[in-house]
Structure 1
Amino acid sequence: MIDPTAPVRLARPSRDLRAAERFYVDGLGLAVLWRTTEHVPGEHDLLMVGPPGAAWHVELTHDPLRPTVPAPTVDDLFVVYLGGPVDEALVERLVAAGGSRVASHNPYWDAHGVTIADPDGYRLVLCSRTWP
């Protein structure tokens, strides 16, 4: 069995780490936890963002020599449970930081939150509900 407090990393490719950083740091308010941009052959450039001290973070990668084109689907979701109404100022900040407000493929998420596509097309859901 996996320890329920085990750290979690969600890793995704990005076309542009600067654009991703604007969205997740300037828009969503996460912190840069780690960054590498040394362009070492065979290594990826990395941007890790998340809340300081949390047991999870998002790792965004870019291989400058062999870039992977992000291929998100409408159900590739990163859901943040806010436990209350979605602040429209946060949505506006995310859009200003390069996101696009979109209708969710699953109407559940539109009924209980707001869905925003990041600059690579991956979807962030700001959910007004709590979990669990």
Structure 2
Amino acid sequence: MESPELAFFAALRSGTPKVQCCQRCGKRFFIPRTHCPVCRSTDYQWVPMTTAGTLYSYSEIPPQGASPGRNVVLVDMADGFRMMSTVPAAGPGELVIGMGLIARVDASTEPPRIVFEEGGK
């Protein structure tokens, strides 16, 4: 059986972010794991992730030397979990708690990652 981490990154490489959905209690969960964090069942399916989210919190990291500034965000996803990532296109002062965000796959890195852009809500 493929590990949850390998299955997650395989889905990202295909361009479709997926999360696990417990077949016993229906909870969708992230980060990839071997069992449901609610009912502990090991019976789950991979389902497409709903890409809509709301900015819960963020931190802006100022430029340092030649490195540009960046941000780290916590996003409450419509699927019911919280995800940490970044909004690469957001400049200083552009993020607002409660703003709608949309997840997308950034395939320019290896492994690919989920990042966010403004939108939704």
Structure-2-length-normalised TM-score:
0.29
Structure-1-length-normalised TM-score:
0.27
Higher strand share: 2
Higher helix share: 1
- The structure whose RCO (Cα within 8 Å, separation 6+) is larger is 1
